[in-house]
Structure 1
Amino acid sequence: MKTLAILGSTGSIGRQALEVVGENPDKLTVYALTAAGNVRRMEEQVRAFRPALAVMMEEEAARELRERVRDLPVAVDQGMPGLLRAVQAGPADTVLNALSGRIGLEPTLAALQAGKAVALANKETLVVAGDLVMAAAKRAGCPVVPVDSEHSAIFQCLEEERESVAKLILTASGGPFWNVPEEELAGITPERALQHPNWKMGAKITVDSATLMNKGLEVIEAHHLFAMPYEKIEVLIHPQSIVHSLVEYRDGSVLAQLGRADMRLPIQYAFSYPGRWPNSFRRLNLRGQTLSFFEPDRERFPALELAYRVGKRGGTLPAVLNAANEVAVESFLNRVIPYARITEIAGEVCAKHEVSEEGDLATILEADLWARSLAQDLCRRG
């Protein structure tokens, strides 16, 4: 029996993770659930899964939840201190980090320092501080198992001898705009950007998928997860989202992982690793399917090219890219800036940053705050 702490339980990944728990009641139990402010959904989850601890990031939400579940034997905590207690204390042996954004970094480090296995759905953790996190995992002897479908695919296809790898190939659906006429991109609305053709995800990651910034961040994530140079990481547009990623070996063999566009599969694998569990999820049917692959247009999707440049430069620059992009996406969703400005603002902030090679947490967080402040100022200017 594995005991879980699920960070971000009311979000898309968190809800699907609890479906996996419901599918495997003899293998999984929940110690802690955490969320930002969705009290109604958290109450439902607490009553269904009976965790010992529930954490709300917002003070008022924690107060309301405490009142709502006072008939249950559950402790209610709040804020970052509560989040850290959820991963450090108690019997949880596996932490699913399904938080959105840079906020996921400190809980990941805390979980590893406490000797917990990490199922990572928060790519920003590795984008912002990949060297720091992977060093912590190595010291602790704890696995970091990716939950992103693309990295889970590579994780499953990658053989022990890394020197035999010719390249990693990350697939991208292309989002809703990969074949839309370029002249239409300037007028993209938030509603249109949130209509992903294949996946049901949160708002921020859905917009990132539309700009291909998500894939750029995944390139940086793959570099750290698999200790692979950027020259050996490629991206292909695969609109069907059936082949989730591939590994090409030096002898010309290519291993690919295929599956339905169902995030419960990589979530369950992260929980079951190194084994595989049966489930009742729908199976992939390849009859009549056509699989197509295209080279991404980096002029049309400049976020991808920007992420490669930033990743190769390293230092504090990836943290700056991530922070600026988070601010710009939020501003776009709030109709403060147009769609095209998202990547432009991220690039402008990166260009103004004096990169530090210091890899400590304080330096990274300082760069993050600097980037957010400048990005907010640029967004206000439009």
Structure 2
Amino acid sequence: MQPVADIRQVAVLGATGSIGASALDVIARHPRRLRASVLAAGGNVDALLELCISHRPDHAVIADPAAYPALRDGLRAAGLDTQAHTGDQALEALVAGTGCDTVVAAIVGAAGLGSTLAAAHAGKRLLLANKESLVLAGELVIAAARASGAEIVPVDSEHSAVFQCLRSCQAEGVSRIMLTASGGPFRGWDRTRLAQVTPAQAVAHPKWSMGPKISVDSATLMNKGLEVIEAHHLFGLPAGRIGVLVHPQSLVHALVEYVDGSTLAQLGLPDMRTALAVGLGWPERIDSGVGGLDLLAQGRLEFEAPDLAAFPCLRLAQEAMAAGGTAPAVLNAANEEAVSAFLQGRMGFLGIPALVEDALAALPAAPAGSLEALLAADADARRFARQRIDTMHPAGIPAA
């Protein structure tokens, strides 16, 4: 039996989301080596209370201050010793404190940046599922991790695959990496069909179980664009050495090509628990609850180039990465606003890339040497996007 002192204390941020649920499933499978010590959620206090009853963490954090009394009283009524907290400052203090040594960063969007940075500065093992943190402030996050000795283990399936493949060779032997994309629910569609896409169609991903925002990003291929930027920061490769292949079966998650002509691929069923188990157990392998891959049962594996004419978000992300500075922050903020408007029925599916492209053109890249500069670029892009959305017809065309 593993000594109690060796149990890894894990903070799960975004605990009520799909990645949080997968992380908690893996943690529950290993009570002698893993424990959820901090759980954090946005506003779903009932779901957070249920998780607290199941996992009995030391601390629970609700982002919405209006939900704090319900969390506090609910914990008390359940007879739990779990302490209730609210707000970003409380979450960042807990992440940086002694109550956890591992942080699963799964808060969606730019809202996850503060807690991600706090974990990086504090030298924690950071299981990074919040790609927007690296898109918005990748240089700052990586620099903080290097200075503190924090260990970043990516848990996006594609970046986890690269992480695993790279452990077989020195990084300088890498020629390029290839991330795979399922192609989303609209693979093969042209722009005429895409113009009629509804939010319900866009969130129905054919392979992965994800939240609405990430599902829409997958449908537009923006998710893959953000992952390309993330890979650039995680693995230190320039844009020209990071490629994307559409692979509809979602069994090959990434490939790493080496200078000697060898290519290593990581394969597995499309289940986030695999990547989370890698992060929680590394360098050991632990049970994730995911079955093995039967290639004979799966049939053929297909690969194709992404259609950048129908899905320009991938191109826009690549251009923002090449521009550098504040451009990725503008890209991310404009996309978040556009996706939110689409999900609310305020603009069409094709309006998402159109708005992002307009924001990048209107707000040229500037130096991004500080968090303040990046947050200012984020705010400017959101302000621009909201103003444009207010002048749009639902189809995404500016009003006359």
* Residue of structure 1 aligned with 2:148, choices 129, 140, 145: 140
Q: Secondary structure at the match of 1:176?
A: coil
320-329 vs 160-169, which moves further: 160-169
Instruction: Please report how far the alpha carbon of residue 160 of structure 1 lies from its aligned counterpart in structure 2 after TM superposition.
Output: 4.3
Counterpart of 1:379?
A: 389
TM-score normalised by length of structure 2: 0.94
265-274 vs 322-331, which moves further: 265-274
Counterpart of 1:361?
A: 371
Following the alignment from structure 1 to structure 2, what is the Cα–Cα distance between the partners of residues 179 and 140?
A: 46
Q: Secondary structure at the match of 1:358?
A: coil
Instruction: Please report how far the alpha carbon of residue 163 of structure 1 lies from its aligned counterpart in structure 2 after TM superposition.
Output: 2.2
Counterpart of 1:321?
A: 331
Q: Count residues with an aligned counterpart.
A: 382
* Residue of structure 2 aligned with 1:155, choices 163, 168, 171: 163
Instruction: Please report how far the alpha carbon of residue 75 of structure 1 lies from its aligned counterpart in structure 2 after TM superposition.
Output: 0.8
Pair 1:57-2:67 in alignment: no
Following the alignment from structure 1 to structure 2, what is the Cα–Cα distance between the partners of residues 310 and 98?
A: 23
Contact 2:122–2:150 (CA under 8 A) maintained in structure 1: no
Following the alignment from structure 1 to structure 2, what is the Cα–Cα distance between the partners of residues 126 and 56?
A: 23
Counterpart of 2:180?
A: 171
Q: What amino acid is the match of 1:9?
A: A
Instruction: Please report how far the alpha carbon of residue 176 of structure 1 lies from its aligned counterpart in structure 2 after TM superposition.
Output: 0.4
1:120-154 Cα shifts (integer Å, max 9, x gaps): 00000100111111111111111110000000000
Q: Secondary structure at the match of 1:103?
A: helix
Contact 2:274–2:288 (CA under 8 A) maintained in structure 1: no
Counterpart of 2:116?
A: 108
Following the alignment from structure 1 to structure 2, what is the Cα–Cα distance between the partners of residues 141 and 234?
A: 29
* Residue of structure 2 aligned with 1:121, choices 102, 109, 129: 129
Q: What amino acid is the match of 1:319?
A: A
Following the alignment from structure 2 to structure 1, what is the Cα–Cα distance between the partners of residues 294 and 364?
A: 51
Following the alignment from structure 2 to structure 1, what is the Cα–Cα distance between the partners of residues 292 and 59?
A: 35
Q: What amino acid is the match of 2:71?
A: L
Instruction: Please report how far the alpha carbon of residue 380 of structure 1 lies from its aligned counterpart in structure 2 after TM superposition.
Output: 1.1
Contact 1:236–1:294 (CA under 8 A) maintained in structure 2: yes
Instruction: Please report how far the alpha carbon of residue 279 of structure 1 lies from its aligned counterpart in structure 2 after TM superposition.
Output: 4.3
Contact 1:129–1:359 (CA under 8 A) maintained in structure 2: no
Counterpart of 1:271?
A: 280
Q: What amino acid is the match of 2:203?
A: L
Contact 1:21–1:29 (CA under 8 A) maintained in structure 2: yes
179-188 vs 76-85, which moves further: 179-188
Instruction: Please report how far the alpha carbon of residue 59 of structure 1 lies from its aligned counterpart in structure 2 after TM superposition.
Output: 1.1
* Residue of structure 2 aligned with 1:74, choices 75, 82, 88: 82
Instruction: Please report how far the alpha carbon of residue 86 of structure 1 lies from its aligned counterpart in structure 2 after TM superposition.
Output: 2.1
Q: What amino acid is the match of 1:285?
A: D
Instruction: Please report how far the alpha carbon of residue 281 of structure 1 lies from its aligned counterpart in structure 2 after TM superposition.
Output: 2.5
Counterpart of 2:48?
A: 42
Instruction: Please report how far the alpha carbon of residue 181 of structure 1 lies from its aligned counterpart in structure 2 after TM superposition.
Output: 4.0
334-343 vs 109-118, which moves further: 109-118
Q: What amino acid is the match of 1:364?
A: L
Counterpart of 1:309?
A: 319
Following the alignment from structure 2 to structure 1, what is the Cα–Cα distance between the partners of residues 189 and 337?
A: 25
Unaligned runs of 5+ in 2: 1-6, 393-400
Q: Secondary structure at the match of 1:45?
A: helix
Q: Secondary structure at the match of 2:215?
A: helix
Q: Which runs of 4+ in 1 moved over 3 A?
A: none
Q: What amino acid is the match of 1:104?
A: G
Q: Secondary structure at the match of 1:187?
A: coil
Give aligned-pair identity as a percent: 47
CA RMSD of aligned residues (A): 1.0
Counterpart of 1:290?
A: 300
Counterpart of 1:21?
A: 27
Counterpart of 2:345?
A: 335
Alignment of 1:166-245 (within 5 A): 166-245=175-254
Contact 1:168–1:234 (CA under 8 A) maintained in structure 2: yes
Contact 1:8–1:35 (CA under 8 A) maintained in structure 2: yes
Q: Secondary structure at the match of 2:176?
A: strand
Following the alignment from structure 2 to structure 1, what is the Cα–Cα distance between the partners of residues 343 and 131?
A: 21
Instruction: Please report how far the alpha carbon of residue 273 of structure 1 lies from its aligned counterpart in structure 2 after TM superposition.
Output: 1.1
Q: Secondary structure at the match of 1:18?
A: helix
Following the alignment from structure 1 to structure 2, what is the Cα–Cα distance between the partners of residues 374 and 42?
A: 35
Instruction: Please report how far the alpha carbon of residue 89 of structure 1 lies from its aligned counterpart in structure 2 after TM superposition.
Output: 1.8
Contact 2:189–2:310 (CA under 8 A) maintained in structure 1: no
Q: Secondary structure at the match of 2:185?
A: helix
Counterpart of 2:396?
A: none
* CA distance 1:334–1:279, change in 2 (3 Å): closer
Contact 2:38–2:57 (CA under 8 A) maintained in structure 1: yes
Pair 1:254-2:260 in alignment: no
Q: What amino acid is the match of 2:333?
A: A
Contact 1:316–1:359 (CA under 8 A) maintained in structure 2: no
Contact 2:232–2:239 (CA under 8 A) maintained in structure 1: yes
Q: Secondary structure at the match of 1:13?
A: helix
